[in-house]
Amino acid sequence: MAAVGIDLGTTFSCCAIFRDNRVEVIPNSDGGRTTPSWVSFVQSGDCERLVGVTAKHQAASNPKNTVNDAKRLIGRLWSDQGLQEDMSRLTYDVEEGEEEKPQIVLTVRGEKKRFAPEQISAMVLENLKKSAETFLGCAVEQAVITVPAHFNDAQRQATKDAGAIAGLKVLRIINEPTAGALAYGLDKKEGSDGGRKVIIFDLGGGTFDVSILAMEDGLFEVKATGGNTRLGGEDFDRNVATFLVKHFKKENPGSTVSERATRRLLAAVEKAKCTLSVTTSAEIEVDSFTDGKDFHTTLSRAKFESLNADEFSSCMDVVKAVLKDANMPKESIDDVVLVGGSTRIPKIRQMLSEFFGGKELCSSINPDEAVAVGAAIQAHILGLLLLLLLLVTPLSLGIETEGRVMSTVVKRNTPIPASKQSVFTTTEDWQTEIDVCVFEGERASTDGNHLLGKFVISGVERAKAGVPQILVTFDIDANGILKVTAMDKVTNAKANIVISNRGRNSDEDIQKMVEEAKLMQEEDERFRRKQELILGAGDEGLPYQDASEEELRKKIEELSIKIK
């Protein structure tokens, strides 16, 4: 069973896996290394729900039923600041649902249906999960998913829910900038003065985030964040397209540019923009742009930069503001990490490098894959930790002694293989047989614990109660197989039991049992004191075995232990 790392992005998502000592980005069914976070419901044809590139291609012809930007809605309330403005940019309908949650309204098989944003995100996750299963040839049921550092608890929880809806156990939700830093292994490097300080510059298609992280006690702490949730590569495309349309209209007076023509122009501009990241000029061509007329122009890198100069410099203003918030001079930054497709723009790189005194930028990993790469590394680390957990006893092991008391021999979290011994005795005079009942659990009474097995030791020394010495040994081998041996120190009589299947408690079951035991601590304490009183083993010394419940209650109350 594999655990993947997933960057669930606003415009694109990416999935990666750590295997054979390296991270591999998992291609989707179209061969793409990133998948558009788009979902579309079509009203005709064989396949009614499309996800990824095919869904994005539907945007122009099926705008009301094609969803992108679900990440802008996830975990937010109708009354949240900025939500209405975000919604005004969407092509599909969003309504207020129960508890102020936004609901996406789509037509499915001719009927109006409402979807929670996490359901739409789940469809994207499911698509990534399926691609990963095809690529890896095994089930993918666990994932680490990333979210922006500024996401609140509700947005994080909703993202986790999206994972669960997609059939993924979300091992952890981690911050996108942290994943970016992990991708470059910066967690393993020393800082110039103390903990390493890293700035993550994340400029994607529609969002811009800057975060400063500092390494403290082996973990990255987010020191400050800033950005603009409505700035990215799409804005750069729009600026260029707006300029070109204006120019076109000037040269072709009276012509109108339809919405569809604008969308085709935007697609051509985006392509040219990407070309301009490696060349200094690019052609933009749109056939039958308006009234059967083709559109053709050449865009220079310099023109692209001047059309977006305001946006580029606003990015640098955010960097300055975040440094100020973190109260750190730019000289203290050890690494500048580039994340997001738009950081391929040479002007952005140049501005950043110059600002940080000519520093070399961390850009060797594809900027649109770096977050998923970091998430995959985190998933791998968590997998190793789980493995380590298997190498300890998850619950305490012991035997039942008089009064249904759990007498622990091996404490929980003891590394295995392990061997522990305790000496027990008889409770009745001339007793030559003892029932040994083996339990696991954290409760003081065996009633609350789990019986693993029992056996009888015969031939115990015939003596007064409390005289025989029975040595009980718990041996746990590397495979977790438990052997419990009881031996009378005088007669050498011996008996044992081997328990190979201690029931496969899931992590959650174990956590639940430990939590429950913590909650019951007070009750367990009362149980212990009561047994001590009955058996005369406590501070009081005197046995109370013949006392009535009422007398016991009184005595315990006297000892200021409330008993219910």
Q: Which residues are catalytic?
A: 7, 71, 176, 202
- Length, in residues, of the chain: 564
Q: Which residue has the tokens 């002694």?
A: 401
Q: Which is nearer to ligand AMP, 289 or 304 (CB)?
A: 304
Q: Which is nearer to ligand AMP, 206 or 398 (CB)?
A: 206
The structure tokens listed for 121 are 């995100």
Residues 6 or more apart whose CB falls under 8 angstroms from that of 206 comprise: 10, 11, 69, 230, 231, 232, 233, 234, 235
CA–CA gap between residue 212 and residue 227 (Å, rounded): 12
CB of 37 to ligand AMP, least distance (A): 9
Q: Which is nearer to ligand AMP, 177 or 205 (CB)?
A: 205
Neighbour order of strands in the sheet with 39-41: 49-51, 39-41, 66-67
Are 339 and 177 a contacting pair, CB within 8 Å? yes
CB of 340 to ligand AMP, least distance (A): 4
CB of 247 to ligand AMP, least distance (A): 22
CA–CA gap between residue 43 and residue 66 (Å, rounded): 11
Strand (E) or helix (H) holding 145? strand 140-147
CB of 220 to ligand AMP, least distance (A): 20
Sort strands 450-458 and 433-440 into parallel, antiparallel or unpaired. antiparallel
Residues that bind ligand AMP (CB under 6 A): 9, 11-12, 34, 204-205, 232-234, 270, 273-274, 277, 340-342, 344-345, 368
Are 208 and 308 a contacting pair, CB within 8 Å? no
Q: Which is nearer to ligand AMP, 267 or 556 (CB)?
A: 267
- Gyration radius (Cα) of the chain, Å: 33
Q: Which is nearer to ligand AMP, 275 or 469 (CB)?
A: 275
Q: Which is nearer to ligand AMP, 345 or 405 (CB)?
A: 345
H helices of 231-332, in order, are: 233-251, 259-276, 301-307, 309-325
Are 298 and 284 a contacting pair, CB within 8 Å? yes
Q: Which residue has the tokens 């298997």?
A: 390
CB of 205 to ligand AMP, least distance (A): 4
Q: Which residue has the tokens 């006690």?
A: 217
Are 338 and 367 a contacting pair, CB within 8 Å? yes
If you write DSSP's letter for every residue of 458-525 in order, what string do you get? E-----STT---EEEEEEE-TT--EEEEEEETTT--EEEEEE-------HHHHHHHHHHHHHTHHHHH
CB of 256 to ligand AMP, least distance (A): 27
CB of 173 to ligand AMP, least distance (A): 19
CB of 299 to ligand AMP, least distance (A): 13
CA–CA gap between residue 121 and residue 471 (Å, rounded): 59
The structure tokens listed for 94 are 């969003």
The single-letter code of the amino acid at 249 is K
The single-letter code of the amino acid at 9 is G
Where does residue 351 rank: exposed (0-12), middle (13-18), buried (19+ CB within 10 A)? Answer: middle
Q: Which is nearer to ligand AMP, 234 or 285 (CB)?
A: 234
Q: Which is nearer to ligand AMP, 11 or 228 (CB)?
A: 11
Q: Which is nearer to ligand AMP, 9 or 117 (CB)?
A: 9
CB of 231 to ligand AMP, least distance (A): 11
CA–CA gap between residue 435 and residue 446 (Å, rounded): 14
The structure tokens listed for 124 are 């994207």
**Of all residues in the chain, what percent are helix, strand and coil, respectively (each to 5)?**
35, 30, 35
Are 90 and 102 a contacting pair, CB within 8 Å? no
